[in-house]
Structure 1
Amino acid sequence: MPTTAAPLIEVTRIYAEPAAIDLPRGREMAARWPQAEIVPVESHWRIPELHGDEANVRRWVRIKREALVLGVKKSISVRPNGRSADFIAPSTANGCAMACAYCYVPRRKGYSNPITAFTNIEQIMGGVARHVKRQGAKPEPNQCDPHDWVYDIGENSDCSADALLGDNVHDLVDLFAGLPTAKASFATKYVNRDLLDWDPQGRTRVRFSLMPAAMAKLTDIRTTPVPERIAAIDDFVEAGYEVHVNFSPVIVAPGWLDEWRDLFRQLDAAISPATKAQLACEVIMLTHNAALHEVNQGWHPKAEEVLWRPDLQEPKRSENGAINVRYRAATKRRYLDDFLALLAAELPYCRVRYAF
């Protein structure tokens, strides 16, 4: 099984659209890795040696550590969401340096899918700022936030890891710090303490994803260990971030509720009264995918023993038309109810923003 001994990112090859590396941000990112080979590509979507090649399963983690793709974001549209955020901001990256066995991101480009960073950051930021201005003040509270419009800036990547490559995420945090009616939001499984030196002014919500440590060790490959994520929460609150937690994915396995009880108690013991006063969470039950199951069989079959459970799961068509599998509706409701009852008993101050 892959180890986390090597650095999370150690770029040796940069695949770059010419227009992307010609922009100032592209040149800045390439300059961070002066020894890296520059490989021109026509499109960040079509790089055969990275995407769509089953042989890459054998090099899954190495590609994630050593490859960086630079592209230009073509669509600067903002999409409505309504679950975790009011809106999904145009991505400044897709792909990930981490390798969580259940992650949906590899389904888009296929196989390893390292980070693609978009270098037209000024255009992206301009589109977000104009959208925020058009919304005006938020008229009423909702599950996303009681006061502000919330924009997810990390739908297809982990912003904490993206920040290792360049200043895109920092620029977005600075942007939202100056927008009085909106805040940025992103989920993360990586503790990047460089973010503690930024000045978010309460306008960026960091959602630390948590699950029981043993399950995370099996399925959250190349991520920051869960105890370290918990230990960072107070520091991020003190640095001016709003910090929520994602209890996700919730994976049903023998003893799963006992393991979650232990996690809730670890979290409760670790965080300050100030953190507890602003804490909220999301709860997301596991969704898996047959194609990803087949990929995982080639590099991490042990994880599939808990992720691929035909005895407990049923097909589900997602919003984008893909066929996934989830826990059967009737039993999923029972699992979720049991989880929420345990959460309420152990962390009564932790408001549930949404659960599904």
Structure 2
Amino acid sequence: MTGDLLDIRRIYVEPAAAELPRGKEILARFPGAQLVEVESHNRIPELYGDETNVNRWVRIKREALVLGVKKTLTARPNGRSADFIAPSTANGCAMACAYCYVPRHKGYSNPITVFANIDKIAGYLQRHAGRQGTKTTPNECDPYAWVYDIGENSDCSVDARISDNVRDLVELFRWLPTAKASFATKHVNREMLDWAPGGRTRIRFSLMPPRDAKILDIRTSPIAERIAAIDDFVAAGYEVHVNFSPVVVRDGWLDDWAALLEQLDDGIGPAAKRQLAAEVIFLTHNRDLHEVNLGWHPKAEELLWRPELQQPKRSQNGSWNVRYRTGEKGRYVAALTDLITERTPYLRVRYAF
């Protein structure tokens, strides 16, 4: 089922996490794994900050798992994809998308770290949602519900292969009348179809032209498989949106997006179309990640690192990012959103930038 994606052989574990019920469940799922006790889930020298790990980039993602305790519980305001970013139940990923920003924070490797104190996280979210009261002013996140992104630093569909953390949150939000969970995914996990979310969880399937995905979306579910899953997830009680991200500008890019929109239109039924909405996010790339990628996947950088089209921008954490040049980017955004209106007029664009 997940052998190609995950083959956990080493678990780096905080002792406190191993004592919690969820920690014990996770360890029992991988009885043959070597256990390596660590003081902190985010201070593991052989995983993080060692540039020699770039040669083992994918192998580490497949074979290593970190089990820890989430110590800081906060729901950060967001306002675009969601009203709030929920405290993580996991970070890192077994997939290896070349544009992913998580490695920028974790060094040269980012296998999945899963947090065992799910009861604390769920309790915090329930109290936080309760304090918000009823949403009286509609916004682009949702007209009625406070939306919580539960997968900012991981892919929840993959996380659900490892633990029941994601299922616990989906079941929690089923009973929160004023709130809704949300996460973007590039992995089709059909086990989630049995969870009965009751319309209170929004899955955003990330899509891009298959020509780009073949190079950039490493170890993910094929684009056709993601589109084919949309109707089934709608029928199972999920709200399903699409996440056009990242949009990469190259020769022929708009023609390939037209073909993708046609593939999407042909691949979903009336029920999905009635509730479908989209986010459109053009590529932002990072100079440090560019250097990392050159060590394991230089072909991706031919698409991602285009100095003739991009301009530098210093991020809030002080690192240098590149994005498409001001003025030109506005024309790119307009061209794609006009194409969406023409080819899939039912597809509401929640935001585009």
Q: TM-score range by the shorter chain?
A: over 0.9
Q: 2:341 aligned with 1:328, yes or no? A: no
Partners of 1:239 and 1:133 in 2: how far apart? Answer: 26
Say which SS state the counterpart of residue 206 (structure 2) adopts. strand
Deviations 1:282-329 (A, max 9, x none): 000000000000000000000000100011111123344432110011
- Which of 66, 75, 81 aligns to 1:84? It is 81
| Structure 2: 5+ residue stretches without partners | none
Q: Determine the C-alpha separation between the residues in 1 that align with 2:199 and 2:286.
A: 36
Q: Percent identity?
A: 70
Equivalents in 2 of 1:70, 1:317: separation in Å?
Answer: 33
Question: Corresponding residue for 1:72?
Answer: 69
Query: Is 1:42–2:39 an aligned residue pair?
Result: yes
Q: The residue matched to 2:196 in structure 1 has which SS? A: coil
Structure 1 distance, partners of 2:220, 2:87, is: 24
| Alignment correspondent of 1:12 | 9
2:257 aligned to which of 255, 260, 266: 260
Distance 2:316 2:131 in 1: 26
Q: Deviations over 1:262-292 (max 9, x none)?
A: 0000000010000000000000000000000
SS at match of 1:50: coil
Letter in 2 for 1:120: N
1:259/1:207 Cα in 2 relative to 1: closer, same or farther (>3 Å)? same
1:117-175 per-residue CA deviation (whole Å, 9 max, x = no partner) reads 00000000011000000000001110000110000000000000000001000000000
Look up the equivalent residue of 2:147 and give its one-letter code: V
Stretch deviating more after TM superposition (48-57 or 170-179): 48-57
Partner of 1:141, secondary structure, is coil
- Matching residue's letter, 1:107: R
Q: What is the alpha-carbon distance in structure 2 between the residues aligned to residue 279 and residue 354 of structure 1?
A: 13
In structure 1, the residue matched to 2:296 is: 299
Structure 2 distance, partners of 1:268, 1:146, is 25
**What amino acid is the match of 1:82?**
G
Alpha-carbon distance in structure 1 between the residues aligned to 2:211 and 2:3: 21
Partner of 1:279: 276
Structure-1 residue corresponding to 2:174: 177
Residue 139 of structure 1 corresponds to 136
Partner of 1:202: 199
**How many angstroms apart in 1 are the aligned matches of 2:319 and 2:52?**
24
Q: What is the alpha-carbon distance in structure 2 between the residues aligned to residue 118 and residue 261 of structure 1?
A: 41
1:9-58 per-residue CA deviation (whole Å, 9 max, x = no partner) reads 11110000111111110010010000001100011111111111111111
Partner of 2:349: 352
Counterpart CA distance in 2 for 1:307 and 1:189 is 19
Q: Which residue of 1 aligns with 2:243?
A: 246
- For residues 75 and 110 of structure 2, the distance between their equivalents in structure 1, rounded to whole angstroms, comes to 23
Q: Distance in 2 between matches of 1:6 and 1:265?
A: 33
Deviations 1:86-128 (A, max 9, x none): 0000000010000000000111111121000000000000110
Q: Which runs of 4+ in 1 moved over 6 A?
A: none
Q: In structure 2, how many angstroms separate the alpha carbons of the residues matched to 1:84 and 1:319?
A: 19
- 2:253 & 2:109 partners in 1: Cα distance? 29
Match of 1:122 among 98, 101, 119: 119
SS at match of 1:117: strand
Cα RMSD between the aligned structures?
Answer: 0.9
**1:6 offset after TM fit, Å?**
5.3
Write the distance in 1 (CA, Å) between the matches of 2:80 and 2:313: 18
Q: Indicate the residue corresponding to 1:309 in structure 2.
A: 306
Report the Cα distance in structure 2 between the residues aligned to 1:7 and 1:38, rounded to whole angstroms: 22
TM-score by length of 1: 0.98
Deviations 1:166-185 (A, max 9, x none): 10000000000000000000
Match for 2:166: what amino acid?
V
State how far apart, in whole Å, the 2-side matches of 1:319 and 1:82 are. 17
| TM-score, normalisation: structure 2 | 0.98
